[in-house]
Amino acid sequence: MQVSKWVRSSVIVAGTAAAVAAASIGTYGYILGFDDPKLPAAQATSTRPSTTTSRPVVTSTTKTTPTTLPTTTTTHPEMQNPANATMPEIPRNGLGQYASGPVVAAYEARLKSMRFDPGALDGRFDRNMRYAVETVQKIYGLPRTGRIDAATRVAISEFKYPTPLVPNGEADRVEIDLDRQILIVWTKWEIVLMTTTSTGNGEHFCGGDQGCQYAVTPTGRYTMTRNIKGWRTSKLGKLWNPYYFNGGIAVHGLESVPVYPASHGCARIPMDIATYFATLVHKGEPVYVMGTQAPRGSRTTPRTNPRATTTTTAPTTTTAPPATTASTKPPATTTTKAPTTTVAPTTVPQPTTTT
C-alpha cells in the first residue's frame, strides 16, 4: 500500500512538472516570435522587415543632373581684340593709293596683324592695300573711299573685331555679310581673314545656265562643295579659283571688286586673296550668308550683261579740238576729221570679266 501511494505521488509530481514546462515553453515562444498555430501568421512577421521600406526613396532624387550638361556646349574661346596702337600721322588730305614710304609700311603691318590682307609689306599703297582699308571702313560704317583719313586712322588704331554673324556657329566657317559687303573666315573660333566682297546686285539679266533671272545672293546656311583651280570660263564670264557653296554660286576672285553689290550672285574677292582662299577652308565647311539681299529688279530695264555704264562718257572729250580751224579753211576739209576721233573701243570692259 505504501508503494502504490509513492507511485501515485510521483506521477502527480511528474505531470505537474510537465505542465509547468509546457507553459514555460509557450510563454518563451510567444516572446521570441516562434510560430504558434494559435497566433495569426501576420502577427508573427509584422515586426521584421520594417527597415526595407526606406531604401528605394534614396534613388529617386539622383538622376536630375543631366539637364545641366547641354549648357557647356555653347562656350568656346573668345577671340582677343588687338591692343590699341598709336599709328603715324597722315597728310591732311589722307593717305591713298600710289603713296609709299615708312608711314604706309606701318599701316600695312598693322592691318596684317589684325587679319586683313594688305598685300606685300613693302611700303607701297597698292590695290591690295586699298581693299584692306575698304574692309575696315565697311566694318565701321565709314565712307568707303579706300583712303586712310582721320576717322579711318582712329579705326585702325583702336580696332575691335566685329560681332560674329553666327555667335554659336561652328569652329570653322565662312560668314558673308550682305549688308556690309565683307567676308570673314573663321578657323577654330578665330578669325583668320577679313576681306571685302561684292555680292549679287539684284538686277535682271539673261544668258546664264538658268536663262533670265535676278542677280541675288541667297541668304542661308550652305557648305563648301567643290573648288576649281585657276580660271573657269562660264556663260557669264571668268572666275578665278572659284569655290562653290550653293549650286553655281561661288566665292571667287575677279579683277573688279567694287565696294557695293555688283555680281550676278557670287561673292567676289580680290584676286590675290582668291589665290590662297582654298587653303583656308575645306570641303563641307559651313558658309553663312546673312543680311539683306539686293532688291530684285534694281535696274529699270533688263540687260543681258549687267555692268556699270560710267565708262561710256570718256570718249566724248575728243570732238572739241577741230572746231578752232573752221574759220580759215573751207568747211568741206574740216568735217571729215571729227568722226575719226570718237572711236575708242579699248575703254569698253571685256565681256568675260564680269560675274
How do residues 280-294 score in pLDDT, each as one tens digit? 999 999 999 999 999
pLDDT surpassing 60 at residue 256:
yes
Residue 28, H or E segment: helix 2-32
pLDDT band at 344 (very low <50, low <70, confident <90, very high): very low
**pLDDT reported for residue 240:** 97
| Lowest mean per-residue pLDDT among 64-73, 160-169, 185-194, 240-249 | 64-73
pLDDT surpassing 70 at residue 309:
no
The set of residues, in sequence order, having a beta carbon less than 8 Å from that of 114 and lying 6+ positions away, is 82, 156, 159, 194
The set of residues, in sequence order, having a beta carbon less than 8 Å from that of 52 and lying 6+ positions away, is none
Measured distance CA(314)–CA(347) in Å, rounded = 8
CATH superfamily of this structure's domain 173-290: L,D-transpeptidase catalytic domain-like (2.40.440.10)
Selected residue with higher pLDDT from 345 and 91 = 91
Please name the residue that has the C-alpha cell 575728243. 318
Measured distance CA(234)–CA(355) in Å, rounded = 9
Find the mean pLDDT for residues 179-185: 98
pTM of the model: 0.65
Selected residue with higher pLDDT from 144 and 19 = 144
Assess contact for 74 and 171: CB atoms under 8 A.
no
Domains of the chain by residue range: 102-157, 173-290
Q: Helix (H, G, I), strand (E, B), or coil: what is residue 128?
A: helix
DSSP β-ladder status, 182-187 and 204-208: unpaired
Q: How many CB atoms lie within 10 A of CB 134?
A: 25
Please name the residue that has the C-alpha cell 511528474. 14
**pLDDT reported for residue 299:** 53
